Chain A
Amino acid sequence: DTAVSQTPKYLVTQMGNDKSIKCEQNLGHDTMYWYKQDSKKFLKIMFSYNNKELIINETVPNRFSPKSPDKAHLNLHINSLELGDSAVYFCASSRWTGDTEAFFGQGTRLTVV
């Protein structure tokens, strides 16, 4: 069983479109995260949710809107996609915010053309 799963794994779309990436964890964790890995492989936190509530929003454009319907799911919706949004997006979870270890999904490679 995959602990943290993201769909889709690959996403190619045109500029201006709206797209969503889904994430689910079956670990019973309270906290979930979205990280962005840019073209230079740099990984940076975007959002953190604890038990469905937004905890951290690292100055991400308003076009990015995370949604957590329950603590096992954290989806990422992106409006009006831009070329610069092309990246790999990783979902992760941990038992609580700042827990000693986070578990990562396999990533979603988003390409905006």
Chain B
Amino acid sequence: AQSVTQPDIHITVSEGASLELRCNYSYGATPYLFWYVQSPGQGLQLLLKYFSGDTLVQGIKGFEAEFKRSQSSFNLRKPSVHWSDAAEYFCAASGNTPLVFGKGTRLSVIA
């Protein structure tokens, strides 16, 4: 069955520190991959997406993600976290089907 796994339920980082959120997928073939962010009480905003080509994709708000086929991973990174990045982050995948989401990682940012 198609699935997306985010191993970390909650991560806390200091403002200015680097960030990496993990995502693994299980699909028959390489799916389309996405990262969404949900701020408290808000909807889903697309950060970035991977379809094919360059395995390092740049997104909005200074985020990037790297697709690694050998590890079935699509980890999200940011070199320096800002307090406004505190939110819930969802990895999602699609393979000619509706999006399948991971369970999310809640990011807390401390001063």
User: When the two chains form their complex, are residues A42 and B104 in contact, meaning their CB atoms are under 8 A apart?
Assistant: yes
> Contacts A100-B94, A102-B99, A104-B44 given: A41-B104 contact, CB under 8 Å?
yes
The tally of residues in A whose CB lies under 8 Å from a CB in B reads 22
Alpha-carbon distance A92/B94, docked complex (angstroms): 14
Q: Fill in one digit per residue for A42-84: 1 if any B CB lies within 8 Å of its CB, else 0.
A: 1111001000000010000000000000000000000000000
16 further contact pairs, Cβ within 8 A, besides A97-B97, A100-B32, A101-B46: A35-B99, A40-B103, A41-B103, A41-B106, A42-B103, A43-B104, A44-B101, A45-B100, A56-B98, A92-B99, A98-B95, A98-B96, A98-B97, A101-B49, A102-B94, A104-B43
Q: 5 closest A-B pairs (Cβ-Cβ)?
A: A98-B96, A106-B43, A43-B101, A104-B44, A45-B98
The tally of residues in B whose CB lies under 8 Å from a CB in A reads 23
**Main secondary structure on A side of the interface with B:** loop
- On B, residues with C-beta under 8 Å from A are 32, 34, 36, 38, 42-44, 46, 49, 51, 88, 90, 94-101, 103-104, 106
Alpha-carbon distance A32/B43, docked complex (angstroms): 16
User: When the two chains form their complex, are residues B88 and A48 in contact, meaning their CB atoms are under 8 A apart?
Assistant: no
User: When the two chains form their complex, are residues A98 and B90 in contact, meaning their CB atoms are under 8 A apart?
Assistant: no
User: When the two chains form their complex, are residues A90 and B101 in contact, meaning their CB atoms are under 8 A apart?
Assistant: no
Q: Fill in one digit per residue for A82-113: 1 if any B CB lies within 8 Å of its CB, else 0.
A: 00000000101000011111101111000000
